[in-house]
């Protein structure tokens, strides 16, 4: 992080500018007045996550450059300091989301597609994990949070309690384009075991898993049977289906397997019926964007070698 220390003078200036008492300032962060006093006097260091939350809640804009700006991270920072940046950005995220109506974790997070969906209906993400460094940077760019890395190296204490466990665990062992090695795969086949370890430790009320459609018939159905049996042995009631994103108005023909499991078997869950709303990419791209079209002269010179109206590409 470029600047993670909070200048004590900045803390006092912020409070006085807002014309609030130390007690009122402390209430924004649900800490004691004594804690705030210690922050202002320098007897105790103020965590950057608390400072960032205070800025958000009060809409205070510091006049100097000491304000923590997570967008200052670049890919090099994340590559070399991934673990420490994951810790500090998660601290802020967990503070911001502590009052959400439900909390979820995002495993094998990719660039955050599943997270985006759960946030859109009121959920708060309190933990994320993704091993690919390029996906980590894109995830950070999208959400301001650096995911933790290899799920096999996580400490259970790093993962907070949550209501929903989300995971799009690795597709390759179950994909028709992969080697179809399933759980015999020497590395990726163990990823499901890592999910089970978290389930055993945290007991989430809901488990939401996504995979490729080929999981249904992999190893004559044995792979899916293993997945379901392990969850049912842990008292989860499981329902699964195949959904195609193109049936929901997305301009992509992408079928995926979805598995939803409830610890409370009294939940009457049904998958949504697709609206069968078809669309194509032309419905989404911008029209007449400046700088993204070429002149008639260049079209004729570079795209059309013959004046027959047909592009030479």
What DSSP string describes 217-253? Answer: TGGGGHHHHHHHHHHHTTT-EEEEEEEEGGGBT-SS-
Tell me, yes or no, whether 256 lies in a domain.
Answer: yes
Tell me, yes or no, whether 290 lies in a domain.
Answer: no
Does residue 23 contact residue 49 with C-beta atoms inside 8 Å? Answer: no
Kindly report whether the global pTM for this prediction surpasses the value 0.75.
no
Instruction: Specify whether 109 is located in the same domain as 244.
Output: yes
Instruction: Specify whether 47 is located in the same domain as 117.
Output: no
Domain boundary (53, 68, 83) is at 68
The total number of residues shown for the chain amounts to 313
Tell me, yes or no, whether 130 lies in a domain.
Answer: yes
Instruction: Specify whether 249 is located in the same domain as 104.
Output: yes
Instruction: Specify whether 37 is located in the same domain as 141.
Output: no
Instruction: Specify whether 118 is located in the same domain as 217.
Output: yes
Active site residue 171: yes
Instruction: Specify whether 64 is located in the same domain as 19.
Output: yes
Tell me, yes or no, whether 312 lies in a domain.
Answer: no
Nearest of 171, 279, 282, 155 to residue 223 by alpha carbon:
171
Tell me, yes or no, whether 147 lies in a domain.
Answer: yes
The pLDDT profile of the chain, 313 residues, written as one tens digit per residue, is 343 457 676 788 788 888 899 999 999 999 999 999 988 888 888 887 888 889 888 988 775 433 343 445 778 888 888 888 898 889 888 888 888 999 999 999 999 999 999 999 999 999 999 999 999 999 998 998 999 999 999 989 999 999 999 999 876 555 544 455 555 544 345 688 899 999 999 999 999 999 999 989 887 888 888 899 999 999 999 999 999 999 988 888 899 999 999 998 788 999 988 888 888 888 888 777 776 677 777 777 766 665 555 555 5
Does residue 137 contact residue 149 with C-beta atoms inside 8 Å? Answer: no
Instruction: Specify whether 202 is located in the same domain as 131.
Output: yes
Query: Annotated catalytic residue: which of 125, 152, 166, 171?
Result: 171
d(CA 139, CA 93): 14
CATH number, domain of 207, equals 3.40.50.150
Domain boundary (225, 240, 262) is at 262
Instruction: Specify whether 124 is located in the same domain as 199.
Output: yes
Instruction: Specify whether 107 is located in the same domain as 209.
Output: yes
Give the total number of structural domains in the chain: 2
Range of the domain at 131: 99-262
Instruction: Specify whether 104 is located in the same domain as 170.
Output: yes
């Amino acid at each position: 992080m470029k600047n993670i220390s909070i200048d004590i003078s900045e803390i006092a200036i912020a409070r006085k500018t807002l014309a609030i008492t130390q007690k009122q300032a402390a209430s924004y962060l649900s800490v004691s007045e004594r804690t705030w006093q210690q922050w202002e006097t320098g007897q105790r260091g103020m965590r950057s996550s608390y400072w960032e939350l205070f800025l958000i809640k009060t809409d205070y804009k510091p006049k100097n450059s000491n304000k923590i700006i997570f967008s200052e991270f670049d890919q090099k920072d994340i590559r070399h300091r991934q673990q420490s940046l994951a810790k500090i950005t998660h601290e802020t995220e967990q503070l911001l989301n502590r009052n959400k109506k439900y909390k979820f974790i995002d495993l094998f997070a990719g660039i955050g597609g599943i997270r985006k969906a759960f946030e859109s209906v009121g959920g708060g993400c309190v933990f994320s994990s993704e091993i690919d460094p390029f996906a980590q940077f894109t995830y950070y760019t999208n959400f301001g949070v650096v995911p933790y890395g290899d799920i096999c190296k996580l400490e259970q204490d790093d993962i907070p309690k949550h209501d929903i466990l989300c995971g799009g665990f690795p597709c390759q062992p179950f994909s028709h384009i992969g080697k179809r090695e399933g759980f015999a795969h020497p590395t990726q086949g163990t990823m499901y075991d890592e999910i089970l370890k978290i389930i055993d430790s945290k007991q989430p009320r809901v488990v939401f898993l996504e995979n490729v459609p080929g999981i249904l018939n992999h190893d004559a159905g044995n792979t899916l049977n293993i997945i379901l049996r392990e969850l049912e042995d842990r008292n989860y009631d499981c329902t699964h289906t195949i959904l195609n994103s193109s049936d929901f108005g997305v301009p992509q023909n992408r079928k995926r397997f979805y598995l939803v499991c409830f610890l409370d078997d009294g939940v009457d869950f049904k998958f949504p019926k697709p609206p069968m709303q078809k669309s194509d990419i032309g419905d989404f791209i911008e029209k007449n964007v400046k700088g993204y079209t070429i002149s008639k002269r260049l079209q004729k010179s570079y795209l059309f070698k013959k004046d027959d109206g047909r592009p030479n590409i």
